[in-house]
Amino acid sequence: MTVKKLSPEELLGLNKFVVDEEEPHIVLDKTVCARCQEKPCLYVCPAVLYTLKEGEMNFDYAGCLECGTCRVVCKDKGIIKWTYPRGTFGIAFRYG
């Protein structure tokens, strides 16, 4: 029997997200992000949700894995809100 190995992108694609459109669970102060020299969130987010767009921090909480890594590394406090999503919202992990 041959077992197909899935790539990280394929495994992430198996997860189910219910996005809370009314209340983001992570909120940034982009003026703080603009001053931050290191911008560690660009490198640590396993879902690659932080990107630079024309020099400005771009972030979409919709694919968040709720790992909390960005909250830990954001030493300049550009993340002004980090909570788990409200009940019934967020990620449902599938197959690990």
Instruction: Among 28, 33, 47, 57, indicate the residue that binds ligand SF4 (CB under 6 A).
Output: 47
Task: Give yes or no for residue 67 binding ligand SF4 (CB under 6 A).
Answer: yes
Binding to ligand SF4, residues 15-44 (CB under 6 A): 26, 44
> What is the residue type of 91?
I
Contacts of 43 (CB under 8 A, 6+ apart): none
Task: Give yes or no for residue 65 binding ligand SF4 (CB under 6 A).
Answer: yes
Other C-beta atoms lying within 10 Å of the C-beta of residue 90: 18
Look at residues 33, 75, 31 and name the one whose alpha carbon lies nearest to residue 50: 33
Task: Give yes or no for residue 45 binding ligand SF4 (CB under 6 A).
Answer: yes
Report the residue number, 33 or 64, with the smaller CB distance to ligand SF4.
64
